[in-house]
Amino acid sequence: MSKSRKHGIFAVSGDVVALTTMNREEVRNAITIETALETVFKQMKIGGNRERTIQSYDYIFKQFIEINKLEYVEEITIDSIYHYLDSIEVSQRTKLIRLKSIKAVLSKFYNNGWFSDRFWTTIQIRVDKEVKSGAKLSDIEKLLQLIDQTTFIGFRDAVAIKLMYKTGIRIRTLGELKERHIDFENLVLSLDGSTLKNHKHLKLPIDDEIANMLKTLIQLNNGIRNYYGTENFNVFITQNGLPMNTSKSSNFAISKQLNKYAKRFGLQNINAHAIRRAHAKNLLEKGASIALISKALGHSDLAVTTQYLDLDVEEVATNLRDFL
């Protein structure tokens, strides 16, 4: 019996033997980018990635290899990535998105053993954060006038808007606010760590107007909870007596209401974040220091606070002149 017949299905061809004797570097360099992408995208599909994500990676990476005229994985270098970024005429923000996509694909190449190091990680694109301006006080006042406060929803929303503007409280914290957090005697909100993003205790002053509105809202809440048989001590609840942050049907109901009001009344920049920023700007205009504003907003550092204040060049120059 011949040697090849003896081994049968276990016989190994000469080509495969030659391949196994190649060193790791030669195997890596033999892979075309097209083959590598097919493998990676199959892995992504098995891993549960959305088809839309895969298509986006495919488009960006093929644009990258087309601009650089690349064919093999080994031809991809840090210079080719820089060349691609310099060649595309898009905004810095779009370049950042495309760089992230390329890095994601290259990381998968690395995980498959086609690269010996992650040289692309050193490439960075700096993009200035888009500064969102605060709501105008005139728009907030107009909104409060237009809301029908004779209904529970309307009154609740009006109290929420006033409280956000007067204290700068976050919309998430608003949903977690309990009756025990309100000190009516000393006119402060005493917020414990469970309600705040930074998990630190914070006290925020309120005025008599806000205090009276909160007392009225709590009375209305009691009537609604009794009617629907619900039990909770949340200050802001749904029309069915449920806490906002746990209701599947009305989660962040006030945020949705603000969007509706903005469209209905033709108001620009009316949302929870914009109202919070308006509170910060109001404090600054009244003479509060950035350090104090930062503390009141519960920010981790002053850089976040300065973004909230959205100061332009002229404002900075005018304010600095007082210290000359």
Task: Give strand pairing partners of 151.
Answer: none
Q: Which of 12-16, 89-93, 282-286 has the lowest mean pLDDT?
A: 12-16
Above 50 in pLDDT, residue 157?
Answer: yes
Q: What is the dihedral of CA 317, 298, 93, 91, to 10 degrees?
A: -20
Confidence of residue 4 (pLDDT cuts 50, 70, 90): very low
Distance CA 204, CA 192 (A): 11
Per-residue pLDDT tens digits for 62-89: 999 999 999 999 999 999 999 999 889 8
Distance CA 212, CA 23 (A): 79
What average pLDDT does this structure show over 205-225?
A: 96
DSSP 8-state assignment for residue 135: P
Q: Answer yes or no: pTM beyond 0.85.
A: no
* Burial (0-12, 13-18, 19+ Cβ within 10 Å), 120: buried
Above 90 in pLDDT, residue 306?
Answer: no
Backbone angles phi, psi at 289, to 5 degrees: -75, 160
Q: Which of 56-60, 293-297, 316-320 has the lowest mean pLDDT?
A: 316-320
For the chain, domains (ranges, CATH) are 14-122 (1.10.150.130), 137-321 (1.10.443.10)
For residue 317, what pLDDT is reported?
A: 61
Distance CA 68, CA 76 (A): 9
Question: What mean pLDDT is reported for the chain?
Answer: 82
Highest average pLDDT, of 88-97, 221-230, 281-290, comes from 221-230
